[in-house]
Amino acid sequence: MSDARAEVLARIRRALGPGVTAPAVPRDYRTRGDLGRAALLELFTDRLVDYRAAVRPATAADLPAVLAAALAERGAERVVVPPGLPWAVPGAVADADLPATELDRLDGVVTACAVAVAETGTIVLDAGPDQGRRSSTLVPDYHLCVVRADQVVQTVPEA
């Protein structure tokens, strides 16, 4: 436990007085989903559409063409890509610690993700080699993120 956390908890205990304990926190929430793969992907897609994200399903073989079409539709000619991105991306500019001013001049970024949560429509990035630095995912105005079907889980605790 961190020193700051320990200090805060000690102050709370002193303020409550002797013999007073905090109520137990229920931990009976779901930790795993129960949806099948098709329903899980449908829920995830619905959440993304609710957030006005464009969703383009693709097979592994179709992915390069789908990426090219999405970038062309957006008019994104120069996009930053992390060093470990395994797919060919038209107009790719390798992220070699580009400064924010250069990132801001690019049309977007293409990354993968670590995991995605169907119930919330959340896409989790953890700065892995196929996701890149935080600044390269936040500075460009457009972010195209590839989410593999096997990366989608139902609940936040699963993520």
20 pLDDT higher than 90: no
Q: What is the mean pLDDT of residues 12-36?
A: 84
Q: What is the pLDDT of residue 16?
A: 83
DSSP the chain: --HHHHHHHHHHHHHH-TT--PPPPP--S--S----HHHHHHHHHHHHHHTT-------TTTHHHHHHHHHHHHT--SEEE-TT--S--TTEEE-SS--HHHHHHSSEEEEE-SEEETTTTEEE----TTT--HHHHHSSS-EEEE--GGGEESSTTT-
Q: What is the pLDDT of residues 86-124, one digit of tens each?
A: 999 999 999 989 999 999 999 999 999 999 999 999 999
Question: Contact, 107 vs 142, CB < 8 A?
Answer: yes
Query: Per-residue pLDDT for 154 more than 80?
Result: yes
User: How far from 142 is each of 11, 35, 145, CA to CA, in Å?
Assistant: 46, 31, 10
Residues of the chain above pLDDT 70, percent: 99
Q: Considering the entire predicted model, what is its pTM? A: 0.82
Residue-wise pLDDT for 50-69, tens only, equals 999 999 999 999 999 999 99
CA distance 93 to 101: 14
- pLDDT of residue 85 exceeding 80: yes
- Residue 38 pLDDT grade (very low, low, confident, very high; cuts 50, 70, 90): very high
**Is the pLDDT at 37 greater than 70, yes or no?**
yes
CA-based nearest residue to 141, from 112, 108, 116, 105? 108
